[in-house]
């Protein structure tokens, strides 16, 4: 079976206290649907954990209004290590997680009323689309972007989940081989050089940059595609300085955005295709992994700057955990979307 991508499943967020961080993301971004919560040993990520299995505690949470989730991840067997200096625009790695909003002004007012200190004003990007930046208490940067692509909109939170990422790269053309050719972001919305007023909230934005906003022209396919929705990747290259690697001298799972994960089908074909593009799997679970309530097959590649891209082929997940109702996706057509009522049933996994 040829591989297909259903969408961005989640962004990995390394934190020092999962419960504290998840409570904040529930309150401010509506990430309250628990897919799994698991304490175990990460034994397959040895290339990125100092060649040692690491104890960890993780939660995968979604906003059921649509978009990808957060995999909130904490080292429990070692002290998490922060970067030795703030990240600057153009540094290589995941700089910003994009979150979609169907009422941007209302979302901004909601966060103002919450007393959020790390909040920018509303501005327009080069496409003319409105957005604003939000910094969480641990320094992670989110961009809330106006969007009309939502699965469900019946809650007081005026945003959905993950709709993309801003990724720093050192060579734009080399990066296209992953994001355009392998991940299917083949539509160039803009490709411009300069100094950008809409990014002035971000550390290091005073320089000159090349910005390329990519979207996928073909609809995504898969069980969760209606929930995950349309996504985009914005690549940013510093033109007048040498970028630093965001996770230099640190481990996967340390604080920050640790990976960008795609929900896929056809892992065997993806393995071959990725290798043929020059990006072999660096981690491959080889068979079904188990994370408590959920199970599947996962793998990782690195983009040309070492940014981690994860692929997950989901095998099983809880729809209504309280009733013991689990969905086995291996028994379905992998490209057929799940019916809306079945996806909405995950609301019974909501955590307040």
pLDDT at 253 over 90: yes
> What's the domain count of the chain?
1
Q: What is the dihedral of CA 181, 3, 61, 225, to 10 degrees?
A: 90
Q: What angle do CA 346, 349, 352 make, to 5 degrees?
A: 130
pTM: 0.95
Closest C-alpha to 317, from 330, 306, 307: 330
Closest C-alpha to 262, from 250, 274, 253, 247: 274
- For every residue of 269-333, which 3-state class applies, written as one string? HHHHHHHHCCCCCCEECCCCEEECCEEEEEEEEECCCCCEEEEEEEEEEEEEHHHCEEEEHHHCC
pLDDT of 113-162, one tens digit each?
999 988 999 999 999 999 999 999 999 999 999 999 999 887 789 999 99
Alpha helices (H) in the chain, listed in sequence order: 18-29, 104-113, 172-179, 225-228, 267-276, 340-344
Q: Which domain holds residue 37?
A: 4-349
> Dihedral of CA 52/55/57/60: which sign?
positive
Q: What angle do CA 6, 290, 38 make, to 5 degrees?
A: 100
pLDDT given for residue 175 in this prediction:
98
pLDDT band at 327 (very low <50, low <70, confident <90, very high): confident
pLDDT of 287-310, one tens digit each?
766 655 667 899 999 999 999 999
Please provide the average confidence, as pLDDT, over all residues in the chain: 93
Give me the CATH number covering residue 72.
3.10.180.10
> What stretch of H or E contains 75?
strand 69-75
């Amino acid at each position: 079976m040829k591989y297909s991508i259903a969408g961005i499943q989640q962004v990995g967020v390394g934190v020092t206290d999962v419960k504290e961080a998840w409570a904040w993301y529930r309150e401010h971004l509506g990430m309250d649907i628990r897919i799994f919560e698991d304490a175990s040993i990460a034994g397959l990520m040895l290339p990125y954990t100092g060649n040692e299995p690491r104890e960890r505690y993780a939660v995968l949470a979604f906003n059921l209004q649509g978009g990808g989730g957060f995999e909130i991840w904490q080292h429990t067997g070692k002290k998490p290590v922060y970067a030795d200096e703030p990240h600057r625009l153009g540094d290589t790695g995941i700089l910003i997680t994009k979150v979609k909003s169907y009422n941007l002004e209302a979302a901004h007012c909601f966060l103002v009323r919450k007393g959020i200190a790390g909040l920018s004003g509303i501005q327009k990007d080069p496409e003319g689309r409105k957005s604003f930046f939000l910094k969480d208490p641990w320094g992670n940067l989110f961009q809330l972007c106006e969007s009309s692509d939502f699965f469900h909109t019946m809650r007081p939170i005026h945003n959905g989940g993950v709709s993309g990422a801003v990724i720093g790269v050192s060579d734009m053309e080399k990066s296209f081989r992953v994001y355009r050719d392998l991940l299917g972001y083949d539509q160039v919305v803009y490709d411009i050089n300069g100094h950008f007023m809409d990014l002035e909230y971000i550390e290091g934005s005073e320089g000159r940059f090349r910005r390329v906003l990519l979207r996928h022209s073909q609809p995504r396919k898969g069980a969760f595609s209606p929930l995950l929705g349309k996504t985009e990747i914005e690549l940013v290259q510093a033109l007048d300085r040498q970028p630093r690697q965001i996770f230099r001298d640190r481990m996967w799972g340390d604080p920050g955005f640790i990976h960008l994960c795609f929900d896929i089908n056809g892992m065997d074909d993806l393995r071959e295709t990725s290798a043929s593009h020059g990006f072999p799997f660096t981690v491959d679970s080889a068979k079904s992994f188990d994370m408590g309530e959920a199970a599947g097959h996962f793998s990782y590649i690195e983009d040309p700057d070492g940014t981690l891209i994860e692929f997950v082929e989901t095998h099983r997940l809880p729809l209504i955990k309280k009733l013991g109702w689990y969905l086995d996706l291996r028994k379905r057509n992998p490209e057929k979307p799940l019916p809306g009522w079945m996806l909405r049933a995950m609301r019974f996994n909501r955590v307040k």
